[in-house]
């Protein structure tokens, strides 16, 4: 049995939960998400599997 976990959906899930719990964090969470996805994309790791 093979189990792969993509980092994008996992980060999105965590960010969504944090936004629901603390709506004031929305801009910070979006900024961090965009920075992380941009860095991973530039490094060629956009399809990183854990």
Residue whose C-alpha is closest to residue 11's, from 42, 43, 44, 40: 40
Cα–Cα nearest to 8, from 39, 21, 19: 39
Higher pLDDT, 3 or 40: 40
Total residue count of the chain as it appears in this document: 50
45 falls in which pLDDT band (50, 70, 90)? low
pLDDT in tens, 10-43: 877 887 888 888 888 888 888 887 888 788 778 8
Average of per-residue pLDDT across 1-12:
69
């Amino acid at each position: 049995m093979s189990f792969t976990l993509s980092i994008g959906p996992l980060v999105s899930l965590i960010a969504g939960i944090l936004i629901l719990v603390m709506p004031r964090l929305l801009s910070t969470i979006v900024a961090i998400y965009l920075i992380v996805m941009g860095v991973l994309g530039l490094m060629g790791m956009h399809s990183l599997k854990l």
